[in-house]
Homo-oligomer: A and B are copies of this chain.
């Protein structure tokens, strides 16, 4: 038991790239729940199973970490969308919508972005957030070939979805008829993913 000691503390001494990814995932989750200011580096560290100073050390500052989180989230969206159009160019709007909903599986991913979107006044977060949002818009228009009005309506649906997820509206499912109706109307056959996501959240 000297070769591989995973004793009391993890101390797994992994490659920093892997650790990095682990922390980014944890940070995505925590930032998604509490937002940039509300999340603490200590929460993130504990979620990732490392010490608080380590996450600061690895990313420099909390702010830089947040920026990396939202940039990574953005990449996930675009990669996922590009996969959709690579597969086929039929019925794009709805297939992109499904892909978007699937991204809910990555905890906190869409919510971290949403938090960044309401901090547009911040001198360092704001510009990145705007840039990211416009990147998605341009993708929809240029690569997916949607008309401006179509792209806009896609984004509208996306923002309502983000909001309903942020609100944890699925917690109201069953207990409020209005919530039921709203959720059922708002989600194109993808309610199951949302509800599943809701249970994840509740247990966390």
Please determine whether A35 and B38 come into contact, CB atoms closer than 8 angstroms.
Answer: yes
Q: Is A106 engaged at the interface, CB distance under 8 Å to the other chain? A: no
A129 contact set on B, CB distance < 8 A:
167
Please determine whether B118 and A35 come into contact, CB atoms closer than 8 angstroms.
Answer: yes
Contact with B along A107-120 (1 / 0, CB 8 A): 00001001101111
Size of the chain A interface, CB-CB below 8 angstroms: 49
Please determine whether A168 and B35 come into contact, CB atoms closer than 8 angstroms.
Answer: no
List CB contacts (< 8 Å) of A134-181 with chain B.
134, 137-138, 141, 148-149, 151-153, 155-157, 159-160, 162-163, 165-169, 171-172, 176, 178-179, 181
- Within the complex, the shortest CB–CB distance from A151 to chain B, in Å, comes to 8
A93 CA / B153 CA spacing, docked (Å): 16
Pick the contact of A168: B120, B138, B156, B165 (CB < 8 A). B120
Q: Is A34 engaged at the interface, CB distance under 8 Å to the other chain? A: yes
Provided the pairs A152-B160, A152-B186, A160-B155 are in contact, do residues A118 and B126 lie with their beta carbons within 8 angstroms?
no
Given contacts A35-B35, A159-B160, list 20 more A-B pairs with CB under 8 A: A35-B36, A35-B119, A37-B38, A111-B118, A117-B166, A118-B118, A118-B162, A118-B163, A120-B166, A120-B168, A120-B169, A121-B168, A130-B168, A130-B179, A134-B179, A141-B178, A141-B181, A148-B182, A159-B159, A159-B163
Q: Mind listing 28 A-B residue pairs with CB under 8 Å?
A: A33-B121, A35-B37, A36-B38, A37-B38, A38-B38, A38-B119, A117-B167, A118-B166, A119-B166, A120-B165, A120-B169, A120-B171, A126-B171, A130-B167, A130-B168, A133-B167, A134-B179, A138-B178, A148-B181, A148-B185, A151-B182, A152-B160, A155-B160, A155-B182, A155-B186, A156-B157, A159-B163, A160-B160
